[in-house]
A and B are shown apart, each in its own frame.
Chain A
Amino acid sequence: MEFVFSQLMGFGSAFVALVADPLTYAYLIVSVFLGITFGALPGLTATLAVTILTGFFGNKIPLDYSLIALLGAYVGAIYGGSYPSILLNIPGTAASAATAMDGHPLAKAGRGGEALGLITTASFIGTLIGTAALLIFVWVLLLVSQNIASPEKALLALFGILLSGTLMSEDLVIKGWISGLIGLAMAMVGLDPLLSEPRYTFGWSYMLSGFQVVPVLMGAFAVPQIMEGLKHAEVGKMVALQGRILPNMKTIRRYMPTITRSGVIGTGVGALPGVGEDVAGWVSYGVSKSVSKEADQFGKGSVDGLLSSETANNACIGGALIPLLVLGIPGSPPAAALMGAFKINNVIPGPTIDPAIILRVVAILVLASLTMFILGLFTARIFVKILRIPKTVFLPVVMVLTTIGSFSVGGGINDLYLMLGVGFVAYFMNLMRYPIAPLVIGVILGSMFDETLRRSLFLSDGSLGVFVSRPGAAVLLMLNITLIAAQIPALRRRLSRNSRKEA
Chain B
Amino acid sequence: MTSSDDIAVLRARDFWGAIVLGTLSIFFLWRTSFIPLFGENRAGVSGGDWYNSAALVPLGLFSGLLVLSLILLGISIKSGGAKMAFSALGLGWDKAEAIRFTTLGLILFFYIVGLVPRVDFILCSGLLITALIFGYHGGHQNRMMTSCASVVAAGGYAMFAHLPRSEWALLSDDWITLVLWALLTVVAVSASPRERVARITPILALLLPLVLVLAMAFGFRQNVPNRGGLIFKQIEYHYYVTLKPLWSR
- Could you mark each residue 96-140 of chain B with 1 if its beta carbon is under 8 Å from any beta carbon of chain A, else 0? 000011001100110111001100010001001100110011110
Contacts of A432 in B (CB 8 A): 10, 13-14, 17
Q: Known contacts A393-B197, A416-B112: does B51 contact A454 (CB below 8 Å)? A: yes
Contact present for A403 and B136 (CB under 8 Å): no
| 6 A-B pairs in the complex with CB atoms less than 8 angstroms apart | A178-B68, A195-B54, A403-B116, A408-B220, A419-B112, A450-B57
**Distance in Å: Cβ of A216 to nearest Cβ of chain B:** 15
Contact present for B10 and A404 (CB under 8 Å): no
Q: Known contacts A194-B54, A230-B104, A454-B57: does B75 contact A408 (CB below 8 Å)? A: no
Q: Is A10 in contact with chain B by the CB < 8 A criterion?
A: no
- Could you mark each residue 19-52 of chain B with 1 if its beta carbon is under 8 Å from any beta carbon of chain A, else 0? 0010000001001000110000010000011111
> A194–B10 Cα gap in the complex (Å)?
41
Contact present for A195 and B136 (CB under 8 Å): no
Contact present for A396 and B132 (CB under 8 Å): yes
Q: Is B192 in contact with chain A by the CB < 8 A criterion?
A: no
Q: How large is the interface on A (under 10, 10 to 19, 20 to 34, 35 or more residues)?
A: 35 or more
Contact present for B209 and A420 (CB under 8 Å): no
Q: Is B176 in contact with chain A by the CB < 8 A criterion?
A: no
Contact present for B204 and A397 (CB under 8 Å): yes
Majority DSSP secondary structure for residues of A touching B: helix
Q: Which residues of B contact A (CB under 8 A)?
A: 1, 10, 13-14, 17, 21, 28, 31, 35-36, 42, 48-58, 61-62, 64-65, 68-69, 71-72, 75, 100-101, 104-105, 108-109, 111-113, 116-117, 121, 125, 128-129, 132-133, 136-139, 197, 200-201, 204, 208-209, 212-213, 216, 220-225
Contact present for A420 and B132 (CB under 8 Å): no
4 more contacts with CB within 8 A, not counting A390-B137, A399-B128, are: A397-B129, A407-B223, A408-B224, A458-B51
Contacts of B62 in A (CB 8 A): 185
A182 partner, pick from B57, B65, B208, beta carbons under 8 A: B65
Contacts of B69 in A (CB 8 A): 178
Considering only CB atoms, which chain A residue lies closest to B69 in the complex? A178
A232 partner, pick from B49, B64, B136, B224, beta carbons under 8 A: B136
Contact present for B212 and A184 (CB under 8 Å): no
Determine, out of A32-40, A166-174, A491-499, the stretch whose residues face the partner at the interface.
A166-174
> A232–B121 Cα gap in the complex (Å)?
27
> A195–B54 Cα gap in the complex (Å)?
7
- Could you mark each residue 224-242 of chain A with 1 if its beta carbon is under 8 Å from any beta carbon of chain B, else 0? 0011001110000000000
